[in-house]
């Protein structure tokens, strides 16, 4: 079979296993693109990659290149960013010897197009002008960082604000080095400050077909469930809000209310907060995350910081677990409040919404069925990937 195009893809992470949003987006896009194109995948990594991961990625690509970052250079380059204007995360991922290696791989592969996911690796390909290039902003990183600054104190507040301002400038500047630009939601597109930001194409995430009609014998033991990478700032904030703000009010609604927090790399703050509460369980990494979603009656995502479309909401809805989230998170999702999802922006609203779903079986079934149909109709990896300008 003759493949249509030769596509060189560069990522800041190895896109497997799928415990982070950028990995999930890249993985499914690569999987779809490789069906009709020849794909050379180049990933940066700051840690050893397992043989199983390498073999898995080799199955869905034509070429796989994993370039290991020198850890001492990471620290040195990040330190140097205090005296430069580029974002710290650009400094984290940029190493001169790897940039030379990337250029060699591109020269040998001779691609028809280059696809760059995230600003973090834009420096590696920005000066290549003889091949059309697409950048996936994914989220408006600057907005997410500035939101983190708003809720932080002391040096962290200063650092997040500095990084947010630098990212805002860099998002604008890097725009002109690429021919095509994509992002995950209309909300994030509007946050990119370039004068031509309306030319950025919104490419939504999809949902893996395995989340629909998933059959399992998982016991529903929890009233509330939250799933996500538990060492990611917006998710840490959500978990602590659930533990410290919502749970004390939730037990007035239901005395023995049980909560599950599931996901990779639980942060120490989360573990410390639940240490004395046997009704809140932190599961950490699980082999099949679908079972964690289905162990809870209601999925609660109190997301007040961060940007982009939340895969966790798509997955919960696809599995038929009714969701409650904030206006901020739903702006990217686009679900209809009180039809596909419940919206809450305060402690009282969250607890009231949880109570509504736990006590009103008709409402529960309505939200459950509508949510599943909404995701099935709107989010499809094959359709969204086909719309990427390459």
* 212-235 pLDDT tens trace: 778 788 889 999 999 999 998 889
- Which of the given ranges, 115-124, 286-295, 331-340, has the highest pLDDT on average? 115-124
Give the residue among 329, 335, 348 at the shortest CA–CA distance from 226.
329
* 244-256 pLDDT tens trace: 999 999 998 888 8
The answer on 215 and 169 residing in a single domain is: no
In a domain, 385, yes or no: no
**Boundary of a domain, candidates 182, 205, 228:** 205
What b/e sequence results for 201-229 when a residue is b if at least 16 CB atoms lie within 10 Å of its CB, and e otherwise? ebbbbbbbeebeebeeeeeeebbbbbbbb
In a domain, 284, yes or no: yes
**Boundary of a domain, candidates 205, 228, 250:** 205
For residues 344-357, average pLDDT:
96
CATH number reported for the structural domain that contains residue 78 in this entry: 3.40.50.11720
The answer on 125 and 225 residing in a single domain is: no
Residue 50 has pLDDT above 90, yes or no: yes
CATH number reported for the structural domain that contains residue 333 in this entry: 3.40.50.2000
* 144-175 pLDDT tens trace: 899 889 989 999 999 999 999 999 999 999 99
Question: Could you tell me what percent of the chain has a pLDDT over 90?
Answer: 83
**Boundary of a domain, candidates 205, 222, 246:** 205
Query: Out of 191-195, 197-201, 309-313, which region has the weakest mean confidence (pLDDT)?
Result: 309-313
In a domain, 384, yes or no: no
The answer on 238 and 194 residing in a single domain is: no
pLDDT, the chain, mean: 94
The answer on 258 and 214 residing in a single domain is: yes
In a domain, 226, yes or no: yes
Return all residues near 134 (Cβ < 8 A) that are at least 6 apart.
113, 114, 115, 116, 178, 179, 180, 181, 182, 388, 389, 390
In a domain, 389, yes or no: no
The answer on 266 and 123 residing in a single domain is: no
pLDDT for 292 equals: 94
Question: Could you tell me what percent of the chain has a pLDDT over 70?
Answer: 98
Residue 3 has pLDDT above 80, yes or no: no
The answer on 263 and 297 residing in a single domain is: yes
The answer on 95 and 226 residing in a single domain is: no
Query: Out of 141-145, 177-181, 362-366, which region has the weakest mean confidence (pLDDT)?
Result: 141-145
Give me the number of domains the chain comprises: 2
The answer on 200 and 71 residing in a single domain is: yes
Residue that has been written with the tokens 């949880």 in this structure:
354
- Are 322 and 299 within 8 A, CB to CB? yes
The first and second tokens of residue 68, run together, are 């290991």
For residues 362-371, average pLDDT:
96
Domain range for 27: 6-205
Q: For residue 2, what pLDDT band results from cuts at 50, 70 and 90? A: low
Angle between helices 311-318 and 21-33 (to 10 degrees): 70
User: What number of helices (H) and strands (E) belong to the chain?
Assistant: 17, 13
Q: Can you tell me the distance from the alpha carbon of 164 to that of 88, in angstroms, rounded to the nearest whole number?
A: 10
In a domain, 81, yes or no: yes
For residues 236-245, average pLDDT:
95
Where would I find the H helices in 116-211? 141-150, 154-175, 186-191
- Are 222 and 185 within 8 A, CB to CB? no
Greater pLDDT, 276 or 65: 65
The answer on 199 and 100 residing in a single domain is: yes
The answer on 257 and 184 residing in a single domain is: no
Residue 369 has pLDDT above 80, yes or no: yes
The answer on 241 and 174 residing in a single domain is: no
pLDDT for 1 equals: 44
The answer on 185 and 276 residing in a single domain is: no
In a domain, 327, yes or no: yes
Three-state DSSP at 358 gives helix
């Amino acid at each position: 079979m003759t493949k249509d195009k030769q596509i060189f893809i560069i990522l800041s992470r190895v896109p497997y296993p799928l415990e982070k949003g950028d990995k999930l987006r890249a993985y499914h896009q690569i999987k779809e693109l490789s069906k009709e194109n020849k794909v050379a995948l180049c990933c940066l990594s700051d840690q050893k990659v397992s043989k199983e991961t390498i073999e898995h990625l080799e199955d869905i690509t034509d070429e796989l290149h994993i370039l290991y970052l020198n850890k001492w250079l990471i620290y040195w380059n990040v330190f140097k960013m205090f005296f430069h204007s580029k974002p710290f995360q650009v400094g984290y991922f940029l190493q001169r010897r790897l940039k030379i290696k990337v250029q060699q791989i591109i020269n040998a592969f001779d691609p028809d197009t280059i696809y760059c996911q995230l600003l973090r690796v834009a420096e590696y390909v920005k000066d290549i002008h003889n091949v059309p290039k697409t950048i996936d902003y994914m989220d408006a990183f600057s907005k997410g960082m500035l939101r983190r600054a708003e809720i932080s104190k002391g040096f962290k507040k200063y650092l997040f604000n500095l990084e947010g301002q630098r990212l805002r400038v860099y998002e604008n500047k890097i725009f002109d080095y690429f021919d095509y630009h994509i992002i995950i939601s209309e909300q994030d597109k509007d946050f990119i400050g370039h004068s031509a930001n309306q030319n950025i194409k919104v490419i939504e995430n999809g949902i893996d077909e395995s989340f629909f009609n998933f059959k399992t014998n998982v016991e529903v033991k929890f009233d509330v469930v939250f799933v996500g990478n538990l060492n990611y700032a917006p998710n840490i904030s959500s978990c602590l809000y659930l533990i410290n703000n919502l749970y004390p009010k939730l037990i007035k609604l239901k005395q023995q209310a049980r909560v599950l927090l599931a996901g990779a790399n639980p942060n120490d703050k989360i573990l410390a907060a639940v240490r004395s509460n046997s009704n809140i369980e932190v599961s950490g990494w699980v082999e099949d995350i679908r079972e964690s979603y289905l162990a809870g009656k209601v999925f609660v995502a109190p997301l007040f910081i961060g940007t982009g479309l939340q895969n966790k909401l798509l997955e919960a809805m696809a599995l038929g677990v009714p969701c409650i989230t904030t206006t901020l998170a739903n702006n990217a999702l686009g679900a209809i409040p009180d039809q596909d999802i419940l919206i809450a922006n305060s402690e009282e609203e969250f607890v009231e919404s949880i109570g509504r779903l736990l006590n009103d079986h008709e409402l529960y079934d309505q939200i459950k069925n509508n949510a599943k149909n909404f995701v099935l109709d709107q989010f499809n990896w094959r359709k969204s990937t086909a719309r990427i300008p390459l």
